[in-house]
Amino acid sequence: MPNPIHDPAYALFREMLTNARLTSGMLQSTIAEKLGKNQSFISKYERGERRLDLPEFLDIAEALEIDVIDFIKRYKDELRKLRRR
C-alpha cells in the first residue's frame, strides 16, 4: 500500500484545494494569515509534504469561502473518474 500522502486520491484532494485557492485569487500568504499560520503551512499541504486533517480542511474551506458539501461532491465525482482510468 502506498504512503497515504502519495495516494492518488489525496493528490486529487490537494489539487482541488489548490485550484480553489487559485480560483479565489488568494495567495498562500493570504490564506495563511486568515488561519493564523505561516505561509509554509499552506505550501507544505499544497505540495504534499503534509496531510490535512478534517478540522484543518474545514478551516481552510472557510478561509477560501468555499462550500464544503459542494467541494466534497465534486471531489467524489472526480475520484470516480480517476478510478475508472
Question: Does position 2 have pLDDT exceeding 70, yes or no?
Answer: no
- Alpha helix (H) residue ranges in 3-67: 8-24, 28-35, 39-47, 54-64
Q: What is the domain extent for residue 13?
A: 4-84
Higher per-residue confidence, 63 vs 5: 63
Task: Give mean pLDDT, residues 49-69.
Answer: 96
Task: Give mean pLDDT, residues 63-72.
Answer: 97
pTM: 0.89
* DSSP three-state, residue 53: coil
* DSSP three-state, residue 49: coil
| Count of domains forming the chain | 1
- Residue 66: pLDDT band by 50, 70, 90 thresholds? very high
Kindly report the CATH number assigned to the domain that includes residue 14.
1.10.260.40
